[in-house]
Amino acid sequence: MFILSDTPSLANHFLREMRDVRIQNDRMRFRKNLERMGEILAYEISKSFEYSQETIQTPLTTTTVDSTTENPVIISVMRASLPFSNGFLNYFDKAESGFIGAFRDESSPGEINVHLGYHASPNLEGKIIILADPMLATGKSLVESIQTLLSHGTPKHIHIASVIAAPEGIQYIKANISCSYSLWIGAVDEKLNHQSYIVPGLGDAGDLSFGPKL
């Protein structure tokens, strides 16, 4: 598991702006900071890829560079992940994309159920997957998403990327995912509250990005 905030960096500045109630209601800035976090985590994930040396011609001579041919599939868990996943697409510009619509069902008191209303994915057999969901709270939506994605083939590896995670969600993933995966997280927060929202968290990332939903 990689936790970005463990090392002081500019990412912590973006996280601060996303959390601060005086700043976060600027929707354009919030979306941009989500995108920036996607770009930073894309760079970190790229370090785990396989590389080989390639000889290229410059205007003056030839030289060797490290190059990768691994093009991941970016899976966006809508709707909050749309700007977040754009950050990954900015770096992995040859990547394919998939989409999952996940939503909470809170009709039963004290119980959080997750439903997937929509999913579209390319063939995932033998491919590297980046599953982008900015808020890892209970972990149920990510586990449901991965189980659904496995119907499209067995990937080589799944990188789960989130901006903020709760310890309970991390433990749920560890207990319920058996395929090859890694966790890439901007910051791990204190806990979930009685409504299963991350504390201190930042609120509803979808609403902050696009406005409240009915």
Q: What is the per-residue pLDDT across 39-86, written as a single tens digit (0 to 9) for each?
A: 999 999 999 999 999 999 999 999 999 999 889 999 999 888 999 999
Q: How far apart are CA 99 and CA 118, in angstroms?
A: 8
pLDDT over threshold 70, residue 179: yes
Tell me which residue range forms the domain holding 184.
Answer: 2-48+72-210
Q: How many domains does the chain have?
A: 1
Is 54 part of any domain?
no
DSSP letter string over 122-190? ---TT-EEEEE-SEESSSHHHHHHHHHHGGG---SEEEEEEEEE-HHHHHHHHHH--SSEEEEEEEE-S
Give the pLDDT band (50/70/90) at residue 87: very high
Q: What is the per-residue pLDDT across 109-164, written as a single tens digit (0 to 9) for each?
A: 555 565 667 788 899 999 999 999 999 999 998 998 999 899 889 999 999 999 99
Is 186 part of any domain?
yes
Q: What is the per-residue pLDDT across 203-212, written as a single tens digit (0 to 9) for each?
A: 999 999 999 9
Q: Residue 175's domain is classified under what CATH number? A: 3.40.50.2020
Is 158 part of any domain?
yes
- Look up residue 62 and give its amino acid: T
Predicted model pTM: 0.92
